[in-house]
A and B are shown apart, each in its own frame.
Chain A
Amino acid sequence: MGRASSKEDAGTLFHSLRSAYAATPLNLKIIDLYVGFSIFTALIQVVYMAIVGSFPFNSFLSGVLSCVGTAVLAVCLRIQVNKENKEFKDLPPERAFADFVLCNLVLHLVIMNFLG
């Protein structure tokens, strides 16, 4: 009886999440998709390292960190662009996007140096 109710609850929860998510604006959905893509890439790199071993370690680190770094920057962008976020009300979204681009370029310069 409890198990069935928890299953039902889980299903209800999932559905409500889905419908709520459908309401988010398009640009935020793009950013979410981008974050998911970069994390997924990082995971594939970790699986590869688990298989073949960590030599050369610097390359593994730079690969994983580039994915994780760009994901973090994208999350920052999402926070700043989200209209429902009152904290960043005065920040124009173009400015946030410019920051995102610049930080990504710096991150990738460092990553390329570390890649070896």
Chain B
Amino acid sequence: MWVEVEAQISSRQNSLHSCARQRLQKEERISFTLIEMARSLAGFLVLLLVISICEAASLFQPISDSHRSAALELFTSDHGSFKSLEETYEALRTFQILGIEKKPDVTAAACRSISETVGSSSTPKDLFYALKANSIAQCKIHEKASEGIISSLKAAVSGASLLLDFYYSIGGLVLIKDQSSKADIRLADAEGVFRSVKAFSQSDGRWRYSSNNPESSAFAAGIALETLAGIVSLASSELDQSLISTLKNDMSKLFDSIEKYDDGTLYFDDKLVDGHEYQGPLSTTSSVLRGLTAFAAATTGNINLPGDKILGLAKFFLGIGVPGDAKDFFYQVDALACLESNRVSVPLILSLSSAVLSLNKKDSLKVRVTTVLGSKAPPLTVKLVGAFSSGSKDASLVESQELKFDQGSGLHILNDLPKSIDVGSYTFVFEVVLQEPEDEKVYVTGSQTKVPVFVTGIIKIENSEITILDSDLGSVESQSKLDLAAKNAVSLSANHLQKLRLSFQLTTPHGRAFKPHQAFLKLRHESKVEHIFVVGNSGKQFEIVLNFLGLVEKFFYLSGKYDMELTVGDAAMENSLLVAIGHIELDLPEAPEKAPRPPPQPVDPYSRYGPKAEITHIFRAPEKRPPPELSLAFLGLTILPLLGFLIGLLRLGVNMKNFPTKPVPATFAVLFHVGIGAVLLLYVFFWLKLDLFQTLKAVGFLGVFLVFVGHRTLSHLAAASAKLKSA
């Protein structure tokens, strides 16, 4: 694991060199497009060489090649055309800012959609985005078409009632002024339009979208500022200065509502009232910046905004890294382009080419100061004012010193790190001082920049030896020197009355004591039971003593061959090691009865989840039945009493004299007996095959019949006996 970290660090440092070569070729191309962009935006800053940085090791990094490759991936087009004019504009603008070459199919598709929009009568919003895209794509617009646009936009201005209507129409007029041959587009009643836009402002610096809707947002504030900047630039006569100054007050109030994160970044955010209208901090801050820089460009005079706030906003956008969404990417890059060259203040970003320095390779500290898009900064000096060990509040480990500026690479270099900087994690504090006093009005650098730096190196491991000692006397039984850089095959043997001692020394490159994150000794038995011990230290000396007498129970009384392994590792250690020391034959006493068993070793995971043994159902053993002969014998025996009953009846002289002789009563009597017989037969069938419900149904029928018949018979008999009695 430590070896992998080391490989990553070295690969990063290698890629830095390849990036530097590619960068120098791009310089001329990028500078040309940036000059065009600068002219269209603010109009006067001259850009020199472009240097970009490959890796992100410190907290804030200016735009780099990773941004460019991400832009190409994010802004994908279907044969050059995007879904809408807005997306077309965003893609073109992003490519322009990052200096990516325009692809011909993209430009052609853009020109097609622009001319379509421009030719037909479109809404101000469509015209606005078409003209915006055209400012980059540079397609030709017909004279007649541009005349039509101008007139429709002017009509839109006079008929506008919502903030966005003003924004699109004024913005469109500003753009067409730059693009068409007619340079004399003026707003007739500029002050009136200014006031009607100003009516949307609120006292807390935010703006509303319409006079009906009370919702206000900072996003709307940015849009309003852009619109007002457009009005100022289109005004035929000088506008009332009091209007401009009240607007500047509004802007300061807006900037009072700026929010901040712990790492010093500043941003604008709106309250989440309605999900549809909510824009998010990225687009809100981007919009405010756009408005601010547009307004600063259009007006004269000072915009009093503290430079720290601009620097905080720049850090906010750079802190995002590379966004994953095309819209977020556009917002970030557009805002950074506004920051790159604006009339308020241009932030300068200090970054390190690598935040991990290796003492072994004698890395030097390389610092770069550029603008947010990676352009060259004006002449300045970088001073290292302090270095503090992370997590300690002690005084600075270095004294204040200036870094040497290398003209060729544009880097400020500190070649030899002071001896007080050993391996570990530090915070370096830098100060940037501009050399020309006029630059102070243009650029902002921030007072002190804190950067985390991690220093690694080779840790010397010396005097490593392993010894077997006698427990009582402390005399050395066997001793061997180890070379922990390579695999060892030491073979020792010990019994439970002896002790094992392993010792070594760790020293940093500058000769100080070093305590690594991990220093473990592992003993593994043949049966894969493992025991891990932490190696303690006092100063440089690391030592562990295993007293087997006390460890007998921990080892589960397992005697046999144990493999020994030592692990020493730390993030700052370039030579972290996991090395096999050798074997030790341990002779431990027999385990007593109640000794704990070693834990079961992890089973092969596949067998644990494999099929288990099949379970066969064990049926209930049938009860023992008596032998059939016995049962049959008793069946016969049960019949006997019935026979006895019948014989007894005969002996008593039973007769059928009372049986009715006349035919009608006789039939009833017969039916009565038949009915009883039928019920009894039904019961036999019930036992044999019928179920209760069928039987009950049948009994119901038979019962009714039997009751009727029986009643007739018995009443006849009763009448007969009553006649006999009376007679």
CA of A45 to CA of B641, assembled, Å:
12
User: A94 interface residue, CB < 8 Å from B?
Assistant: yes
Closest to B703 in A: A105
Residues of B within 8 A of A1 (CB): none
Contact with A along B636-651 (1 / 0, CB 8 A): 0110111011001100
User: B556 interface residue, CB < 8 Å from A?
Assistant: no
Q: By the criterion CB–CB under 8 Å, are A94 and B718 in contact?
A: yes
Q: By the criterion CB–CB under 8 Å, are B680 and A108 in contact?
A: yes
Q: Tell me whether A51 and B641 are in contact in the complex, defined as CB-CB below 8 angstroms, given that A92-B718, A94-B715, A112-B686 are known contacts.
A: no
* Shortest Cβ gap from A114 to chain B (Å): 10
Chain A contact residues, CB within 8 Å of chain B: 26, 29-30, 33-34, 36-38, 40-41, 44-45, 47-48, 51-53, 55-56, 92-95, 97-98, 101, 105, 108-109, 112-113, 115
Residues of B within 8 A of A113 (CB): 686, 692
User: B714 interface residue, CB < 8 Å from A?
Assistant: yes
8 A-B interface contacts by CB (under 8 A): A26-B654, A29-B652, A44-B634, A51-B630, A52-B630, A53-B626, A105-B699, A112-B687
Q: Tell me whether A40 and B686 are in contact in the complex, defined as CB-CB below 8 angstroms, given that A101-B710, A113-B692 are known contacts.
A: no
Residues of A within 8 A of B654 (CB): 26, 30
Q: By the criterion CB–CB under 8 Å, are B714 and A98 in contact?
A: yes
* Shortest Cβ gap from B635 to chain A (Å): 9
CA of A26 to CA of B683, assembled, Å:
30
* CB-contacts of B617-674 with A (<8 A): 623-626, 630-631, 634, 637-638, 640-642, 644-645, 648-649, 652-654
Q: By the criterion CB–CB under 8 Å, are A55 and B623 in contact?
A: yes
CA of A44 to CA of B692, assembled, Å:
29
Closest to A104 in B: B676
Residues of A within 8 A of B679 (CB): 105
User: B58 interface residue, CB < 8 Å from A?
Assistant: no
Q: By the criterion CB–CB under 8 Å, are A97 and B714 in contact?
A: yes
Q: Tell me whether A41 and B652 are in contact in the complex, defined as CB-CB below 8 angstroms, given that A108-B680, A108-B683 are known contacts.
A: no
CA of A55 to CA of B640, assembled, Å:
23
* Shortest Cβ gap from B171 to chain A (Å): 97
* Shortest Cβ gap from A16 to chain B (Å): 21
Chain B contact residues, CB within 8 Å of chain A: 623-626, 630-631, 634, 637-638, 640-642, 644-645, 648-649, 652-654, 676, 679-680, 683, 686-687, 692, 695, 699, 703, 710-711, 714-715, 717-718, 721
Residues of B within 8 A of A52 (CB): 626, 630-631
Q: By the criterion CB–CB under 8 Å, are A115 and B687 in contact?
A: yes
Q: By the criterion CB–CB under 8 Å, are B623 and A33 in contact?
A: no
CA of A34 to CA of B686, assembled, Å:
25
Q: Tell me whether A109 and B717 are in contact in the complex, defined as CB-CB below 8 angstroms, given that A26-B653, A41-B642, A44-B637 are known contacts.
A: no
* Shortest Cβ gap from B710 to chain A (Å): 6
Q: Tell me whether A94 and B649 are in contact in the complex, defined as CB-CB below 8 angstroms, given that A109-B699, A112-B686, A113-B686 are known contacts.
A: no
Residues of A within 8 A of B625 (CB): 55
Which 3 A-B residue pairs are closest in the complex by CB-CB distance? A37-B645, A52-B626, A94-B714
* Shortest Cβ gap from B726 to chain A (Å): 14
Closest to B642 in A: A37
Give the residue of A40, A51, A109 whose beta carbon is less than 8 angstroms from that of B683. A109
Closest to B711 in A: A98
Q: By the criterion CB–CB under 8 Å, are B714 and A95 in contact?
A: yes
Closest to B715 in A: A94
Residues of A within 8 A of B637 (CB): 44, 48
Q: By the criterion CB–CB under 8 Å, are B645 and A33 in contact?
A: yes
Q: Tell me whether A101 and B676 are in contact in the complex, defined as CB-CB below 8 angstroms, given that A30-B654, A112-B683, A112-B687 are known contacts.
A: yes
Q: Tell me whether A94 and B683 are in contact in the complex, defined as CB-CB below 8 angstroms, given that A41-B641, A101-B676 are known contacts.
A: no
Q: By the criterion CB–CB under 8 Å, are B714 and A48 in contact?
A: no
Q: Tell me whether A33 and B676 are in contact in the complex, defined as CB-CB below 8 angstroms, given that A94-B718, A112-B683, A112-B687 are known contacts.
A: no
Known: A37-B642, A48-B634. 5 other contacts (CB 8 A): A37-B641, A37-B644, A38-B641, A94-B718, A105-B699
CA of A97 to CA of B676, assembled, Å:
13
Closest to B699 in A: A109
Q: By the criterion CB–CB under 8 Å, are B680 and A44 in contact?
A: no
Q: By the criterion CB–CB under 8 Å, are B623 and A45 in contact?
A: no
CA of A113 to CA of B680, assembled, Å:
13
Q: By the criterion CB–CB under 8 Å, are B641 and A40 in contact?
A: yes
CA of A56 to CA of B626, assembled, Å:
11
Q: By the criterion CB–CB under 8 Å, are B630 and A34 in contact?
A: no
Closest to B672 in A: A101
Residues of B within 8 A of A26 (CB): 652-654
Residues of B within 8 A of A47 (CB): 634
Q: By the criterion CB–CB under 8 Å, are A51 and B699 in contact?
A: no
Residues of A within 8 A of B721 (CB): 93
CA of A24 to CA of B78, assembled, Å:
122
Q: By the criterion CB–CB under 8 Å, are B626 and A34 in contact?
A: no
Q: By the criterion CB–CB under 8 Å, are A44 and B649 in contact?
A: no
CA of A41 to CA of B687, assembled, Å:
20
Closest to A39 in B: B641
* Shortest Cβ gap from B523 to chain A (Å): 65
Q: By the criterion CB–CB under 8 Å, are B641 and A109 in contact?
A: no
* Shortest Cβ gap from B722 to chain A (Å): 8
* Shortest Cβ gap from A49 to chain B (Å): 10
Residues of B within 8 A of A41 (CB): 638, 641-642
Q: By the criterion CB–CB under 8 Å, are A40 and B644 in contact?
A: yes
Residues of A within 8 A of B645 (CB): 33-34, 36-37
Residues of A within 8 A of B640 (CB): 44
Q: By the criterion CB–CB under 8 Å, are A45 and B642 in contact?
A: no
CA of A98 to CA of B710, assembled, Å:
7
Residues of B within 8 A of A33 (CB): 645, 648-649, 652
Residues of B within 8 A of A53 (CB): 624, 626
* Shortest Cβ gap from A43 to chain B (Å): 9
CA of A10 to CA of B395, assembled, Å:
131
* Shortest Cβ gap from B687 to chain A (Å): 5
